[in-house]
């Protein structure tokens, strides 16, 4: 391809809307343009990178006995009603009606469609296991589209669904996909870290997220540098605390006037106590019934864990009205003593001796509140958000934390969809059984951005060879010069004939402009054809990421380029 023909409008200025480096470079290098909030068009260089990623995905999944299909984007509401998710999915779902007022959505994910498909066609255990995938646009009306294609409303996903006859075989599918993901990301040049994850709206029993670490990540991960345990904080288990070393004697319960003191922060300041002494009491509506959650004042409630632990479908913080009804006081004076609703306590509460809590009375708190003597929780559970410094649940050493962005996730679903949708097969002994399923997603467009996050410098992108839009760019210092043009054209032809993806910068631009564009777009290898070396029959090769330069005789260019690309492509 000649640069004069290439549709790659590069920008010198950093676009104001782009906070993240990958977003900036995707716009500046002319990989994509924004069409609406969270909705993008890909230009030639962008789609070439996406195709490279997709090819790597296809190769690895096909090796793992998966088959590619293509499912509809527009999905009928009826199927989502069958699974119960038409209401559950909420405002993230793009919904529409056809001319007959029938309801549809733009697929945010495809469990319903695929399960219905397989239900109709797959009848026997002999047809299993079945692993089907597609690469296609997904639609989620994200509340905060941001970071370009990292969190967009239309994005490209690879989604795969596995159907097995029993749990053992389904676990094998899960493992095969986990391993395929590891290879896919490595081949894309991405360092990822698999972490235990919550199953969120997709549901199921077991899940791993593949995270790329970085401060801009929206996910928080805890990990144990010692035993390797790693989990999203949404999921990370917290250990109960060891019982306090020195036992304090239980002091007498005491009411204290605390007018206008309604936060843990104010309370600790006024009473001169550590936040860990405060019994923070939060009132929630769990499936519309009020419950209280008690947690150490130095911790936050992990609502995902809470929802799972008390097995409710809907959970929200109670409003001022409910709090007044339940505690007989305005917001800020709730405490565990005498509450007529279930009180669920986090592990952090068990060790609080002579704690401070609200008095369920306006303007008052209580001092020396003690568990079992003054109140008894309905249950003591793991409800807090894990964080660095905690004890690892696996080995007891100290956890560390990091931020990350999820590029892929694997889920073991079991029969969560096959049961309600009645997707059955006939087993060896003639019995009807529900499929045991798994589902597996990779954000293809997000992966492209994540690769840039890991491979760039102050001048632009440094693509790994495996996903580069073109491997090589030839930059003649002046294409108008006869000798340089002849040499550049010759090298261009030789490389093209060798099957190397190459750009020839034949534009009538100053060399500085051409070099800047080449660096910004990030071709792994640049060949500079300049007057000085050309006289001796040499051109200069420069590696984008290591900045290594070498002079190569024109006769050796092809062999050198091939061997360098092989070496840096590993
Ligand atoms: P997140 O927690 O980031 O919202 P998710 O867990 O909802 O993602 P999945 O349903 O697991 O996402 O989707 C599979 C993959 O699709 C994710 O691992 C991610 O790479 C990608 N993905 C999800 N939502 C978006 C989005 N809004 N924009 C771009 N990629 C996305
Ligand atoms: Mg996910």
Distance between CA atoms of 367 and 353, rounded to whole angstroms? 10
How many CA atoms are closer than 13 Å to the CA of 148, on its beta-carbon side? 28
Residue 409 shares a structural domain with residue 491: no
Q: Per DSSP, which regions of 370-471 are E strands? A: 379-381, 400-414, 424-426, 432-434, 436-443, 456-457, 460-461
The answer to whether residue 28 sits within a structural domain is: yes
pLDDT recorded at residue 247:
74
Distance 326 CA to ligand 1 centre (A): 38
Which CATH number goes with the domain that contains 535? 3.40.50.800
Distance between CA atoms of 42 and 26, rounded to whole angstroms? 10
Q: What are phi and psi of 170, to 5 degrees?
A: -65, -35
Distance between CA atoms of 482 and 477, rounded to whole angstroms? 12
The answer to whether residue 1 sits within a structural domain is: no
Which CATH number goes with the domain that contains 168? 3.30.930.10
Nearest CA to ligand 1 atom 3: 406
DSSP state of 273: -
The answer to whether residue 6 sits within a structural domain is: no
Distance between CA atoms of 539 and 487, rounded to whole angstroms? 9
pLDDT recorded at residue 13:
92
Residue 366 shares a structural domain with residue 228: no
Which CATH number goes with the domain that contains 351? 3.90.960.10
Distance between CA atoms of 279 and 368, rounded to whole angstroms? 11
pLDDT recorded at residue 200:
74
Ligand 1 atom index nearest CA of 145: 27
DSSP annotation string for 49-82 = HHHHHHHHHHHHHHHTT-EE----SEEEHHHHHH
Distance between CA atoms of 79 and 417, rounded to whole angstroms? 11
pLDDT along the chain (570 residues), means of 10: 97 92 97 96 98 98 98 96 89 96 97 91 95 98 94 98 96 97 98 91 83 92 94 90 72 93 91 94 95 95 93 92 94 94 95 94 95 95 92 92 96 91 93 96 98 97 98 98 97 98 97 98 98 95 95 97 92
Distance 147 CA to ligand 1 centre (A): 13
How many CA atoms are closer than 13 Å to the CA of 183, on its beta-carbon side? 16
pLDDT recorded at residue 240:
84
Residue 21 shares a structural domain with residue 64: yes
Residue 154 shares a structural domain with residue 74: yes
Distance 109 CA to ligand 2 centre (A): 11
Domain of 543, in residue numbers: 470-568
Residue 230 shares a structural domain with residue 268: no
Distance between CA atoms of 37 and 145, rounded to whole angstroms? 7
pLDDT recorded at residue 313:
84
The answer to whether residue 393 sits within a structural domain is: no
Residue 141 shares a structural domain with residue 273: no
Six token digits for residue 419: 């049961």
Nearest CA to ligand 1 atom 23: 443
pLDDT recorded at residue 244:
57
Residue 512 shares a structural domain with residue 562: yes
| Pocket of ligand 1 contains residue 405 by CB under 6 Å | no
pLDDT recorded at residue 246:
58
Residue 291 shares a structural domain with residue 436: no
Query: Is 504 within 8 Å of 498 (Cβ atoms)?
Result: no
Which of 161, 193, 220, 409 for mutating ligand 1's site (highest number of atoms within 8 Å of CB)?
Answer: 409
Ligand 1 atom index nearest CA of 202: 10
Which of 93, 107, 411, 441 for mutating ligand 1's site (highest number of atoms within 8 Å of CB)?
Answer: 441
The count of structural domains within the chain is 3
For residue 220, the Cα-to-chain-centroid distance in whole angstroms is 11
């Amino acid at each position: 391809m000649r640069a004069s023909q290439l549709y790659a409008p590069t920008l010198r200025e950093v676009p104001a809307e782009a906070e993240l480096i990958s977003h900036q470079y995707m716009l500046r290098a002319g990989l994509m343009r924004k069409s609406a909030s969270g909705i993008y068009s890909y230009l030639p260089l962008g789609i070439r990178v996406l195709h490279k990623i997709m090819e790597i995905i296809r190769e690895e999944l096909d090796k793992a006995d998966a088959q590619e299909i293509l499912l509809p984007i527009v999905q009928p509401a009826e199927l989502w009603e069958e699974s119960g998710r038409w209401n559950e999915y909420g405002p993230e779902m793009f919904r529409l009606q056809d001319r007959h007022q029938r309801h549809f959505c733009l697929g945010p994910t495809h469990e319903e469609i695929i399960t219905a498909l397989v239900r109709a066609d797959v009848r026997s255990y002999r047809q299993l296991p079945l692993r089907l995938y597609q690469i296609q646009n997904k639609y989620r009306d994200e509340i905060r589209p941001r970071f370009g294609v990292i969190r967009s409303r239309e994005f490209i996903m690879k989604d795969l669904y596995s159907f097995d006859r029993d749990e053992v075989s389904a676990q094998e599918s899960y493992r095969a996909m986990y391993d395929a993901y590891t290879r896919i990301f490595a081949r894309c040049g991405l360092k990822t870290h698999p972490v235990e994850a919550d199953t969120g709206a997709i549901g199921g029993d077991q899940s791993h997220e593949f995270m790329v670490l970085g401060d801009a990540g929206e996910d928080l991960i805890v990990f144990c540098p010692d035993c390797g345990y790693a989990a999203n904080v949404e999921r990370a288990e917290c250990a109960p605390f060891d019982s306090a070393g020195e036992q304090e004697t239980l002091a007498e319960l005491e009411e204290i006037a605390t007018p206008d003191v309604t936060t843990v922060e104010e309370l600790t300041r006024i009473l001169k106590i550590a936040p860990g002494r405060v019994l923070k009491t939060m009132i929630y509506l769990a499936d519309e019934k009020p419950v209280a959650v008690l947690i150490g004042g130095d911790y936050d409630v992990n609502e995902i864990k809470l929802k799972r632990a008390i097995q409710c479908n809907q959970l929200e913080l109670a409003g001022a009205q409910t709090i007044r009804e339940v505690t007989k006081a305005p917001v800020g004076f709730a405490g565990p003593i005498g509450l007529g609703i279930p009180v669920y306590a986090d592990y952090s509460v068990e060790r609080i001796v002579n704690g401070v809590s609200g008095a369920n009375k306006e303007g008052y708190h209580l001092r020396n509140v003690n568990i079992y003597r003054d109140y008894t929780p309905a249950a003591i559970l793991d409800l807090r958000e894990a964080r660095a410094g905690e004890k690892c649940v696996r080995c007891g050493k100290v956890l560390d934390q990091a931020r990350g962005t999820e590029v892929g996730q694997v889920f073991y679903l079991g029969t969560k969809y096959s049961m309600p949708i009645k997707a059955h097969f006939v087993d060896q002994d003639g019995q009807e059984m529900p499929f045991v399923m798994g589902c597996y997603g990779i954000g293809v467009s997000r992966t492209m951005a994540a690769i840039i996050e890991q491979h760039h410098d102050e001048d632009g992108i440094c693509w790994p060879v495996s996903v580069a839009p073109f491997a090589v760019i030839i930059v003649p210092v002046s294409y108008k010069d006869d000798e340089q043009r002849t040499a550049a054209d010759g090298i261009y032809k030789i490389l093209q004939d060798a099957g190397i993806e190459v750009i020839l910068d034949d534009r009538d631009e100053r060399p500085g402009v051409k070099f800047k564009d080449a660096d910004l777009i990030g071709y792994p290898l640049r060949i500079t054809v300049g007057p000085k070396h050309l006289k001796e029959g040499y051109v200069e090769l420069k590696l984008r990421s290591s900045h290594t330069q070498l002079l190569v005789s024109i006769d050796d260019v092809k062999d050198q380029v091939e061997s360098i690309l092989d070496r840096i492509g590993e």
